[in-house]
A and B are shown apart, each in its own frame.
Chain A
Amino acid sequence: MAKVLVVTSGKGGVGKTTTTAALGAALAQAGEKVVVVDFDVGLRNLDLVLGAERRVVFDLINVVQGIAKLPQALIRDKRLENLWLLPASQTKDKDALTEEGVGRVIAELRKTFDWVLCDSPAGIERGAMLAMRYADEAVIVTNPEVSSVRDSDRIIGMLDSKTVRAENGERVEKHILITRYDPARAARGEMLSIDDVLEILATPLLGIVPESQDVLRASNVGCPVTLSNPSSTPARAYSDAMRRLLGEQIEMLVPAEPRGLMRLLRGRRAA
């Protein structure tokens, strides 16, 4: 059974696209057939993060409008043969998406893939609404900060009311993924604690991804962090999250600052 999973957050810049790419790649590495769909029409980024920006011919809007067939728009990843991308259009805007058209595309993707990962745009407008509309599951990407947590809360409310599943009286299974977690700042009490975030959102935790240079580097070279540096802490966090999505029970590790690095940083500051 295909699963449609929306990666959403409300707030921008929290790591939705990075997460979509990393989880998509991790699922594909685990042998699942995955398509990642960029819903950020007009501000597309997923193609860059996946390093497929130079191979985009047709996009989601073309398929929704019937200009192109779905197989024409799908881009297969060069490194993972199980990973596909349905890019967004950079020239159109989100009004070009129709509920009916998106529904048709999602239904078609369900037939071919095990996982359909929808990368939601920020905000709560049309693009974000349509990205979550047909979802079975949702990963809510949250930074441990009040603004991000409040926006996530709003998005959870919408997942519970505005999705097809909610309207049919079913549940969208929701997971919180805390990203950009900075163990040093958390230790100083400069960020919301994991417990605070979970208490406010009252939703199960899928994983904690630490703030890391590895993530930034991966985005810049157009390779999901789970592929570019599989042994890095964020890659391991994403990979654990992916296995939890597949139903495995894995112990949750709260990232801690490596002692050596701490000393190194302190040393640098002192110097």
Chain B
Amino acid sequence: MKVSVEATRQLIRLRGRSYVAFVFSPVVPIAGWLSDLDATLAGSPGFFVGKPVVLDLSAVDLSPLAITHLIKSIEARSVRVLGLEGVEPARLSIGMPPLLSGGRQCVVQEAEPEKPALREPNSLLLDVPVRSGQSIVFPDGDVTVLGAVSSGAEIVAGGSIHVYGALRGRAMAGVNGNASARIYCQKIEAELLAIDGYYQTAEQIDATLRGKPAQAMLDGNSMKIVPLN
């Protein structure tokens, strides 16, 4: 038995599809237009990268050499020219982008360049005293207290802690592993100070600092409390 496998040949099916392209329309003087283009690119760098750009030359009268030069100049700015428009075919040479026609106006969907999300200012301001039994937890940043932090109160901050008053309670700064966080207060009478897990209790805090303005910071693996002048 003879088995013959006949390869079935499929016809290449051609499909049409239209795309939206940006159109550059250079005007004379070309040098001036190029510097305008530079200004636009500086405003939103990378905006045209990977986007199709068509060059409409109907407003200028350029020789083939000048067209080649213009395309090179544009490509030197990391913008790829996909096609040309508004120029007689005779002026084109091999190696140039193809001539396009029949383009229609359309609204370009402004794909806004991704702006970095506007970040909330990372601080919490309390303009009342923090009372005994209250716990202020703010893992996102600094905490500023205008007033005293009472004995039995607690402030937990991802960033630094600033107390414009007496600090009599507990202050824990840099709780998310932020070793550069600090604690500042106008009057140090704290029960406990902690930065990034390193702590000192009231007993360990230098008695000569008591009641004075001070700041606490990490120095390697130990906490340092120094007068604040």
Contacts and interface: CB of A to CB of B under 8 A. Distances in A.
B129 interface: yes
B131 interface: yes
Contact of B131 (A146, A153, A199): A153
Nearest to B150: A153
Contacts of A151: 132
A148 to B, nearest CB: 11
A200 interface: yes
B131 A200 contact: no
Contact of B148 (A124, A150, A154, A202): A202
B200 interface: no
B147 A202 contact: yes
A160 B128 CA distance: 10
B151 interface: yes
B147 A157 contact: no
Q: How big is the B interface, by class?
A: 10 to 19
B226 to A, nearest CB: 25
Interface in A196-223: 199-200, 202
Nearest to B151: A150
B86 interface: no
Contact of B132 (A154, A160, A199, A202): A154
B168 A200 contact: yes
A160 B152 CA distance: 16
Interface in B142-186: 147-148, 150-153, 166, 168
Contacts of B148: 199-200, 202
Contacts of A146: 151
Given A150-B151, A200-B150, A202-B148, A157 B168 contact: no
Main secondary structure of the interface of A (DSSP, over half): helix
Nearest to B189: A200
A156 interface: yes
Main secondary structure of the interface of B (DSSP, over half): loop
Interface residues of A, number: 13
Contacts of A154: 131-133, 152
Contact of B129 (A124, A150, A158, A202): A202
A56 to B, nearest CB: 34
Contact of A150 (B128, B132, B147, B166): B132
B134 A157 contact: yes
B145 to A, nearest CB: 12
Interface in A143-174: 146, 150-151, 153-154, 156-158, 160
Contact of A160 (B131, B150, B151, B168): B131
Contact of B133 (A157, A199, A200, A202): A157
A22 to B, nearest CB: 27
A100 B147 CA distance: 35
A151 B133 CA distance: 9
Contacts of B152: 150, 153-154
Contacts of A199: 148, 166
A160 B133 CA distance: 12
A170 to B, nearest CB: 15
Contacts of B168: 200
Contacts of A202: 129, 147-148
A130 B134 CA distance: 19
A261 to B, nearest CB: 35
A153 B128 contact: no
Interface string A116-160: 000000001000000000000000000000100011011011101
A158 B147 CA distance: 17
Contacts of B129: 202
A199 B168 CA distance: 12
Given A200-B168, A202-B129, A153 B151 contact: yes
Contacts of B151: 146, 150, 153, 200
Contacts of A150: 132, 150-152
A252 to B, nearest CB: 22
Interface of B: 128-129, 131-134, 147-148, 150-153, 166, 168
12 contacts: A146-B151, A150-B152, A153-B131, A153-B133, A154-B131, A154-B152, A156-B131, A157-B132, A157-B134, A199-B148, A200-B150, A200-B151
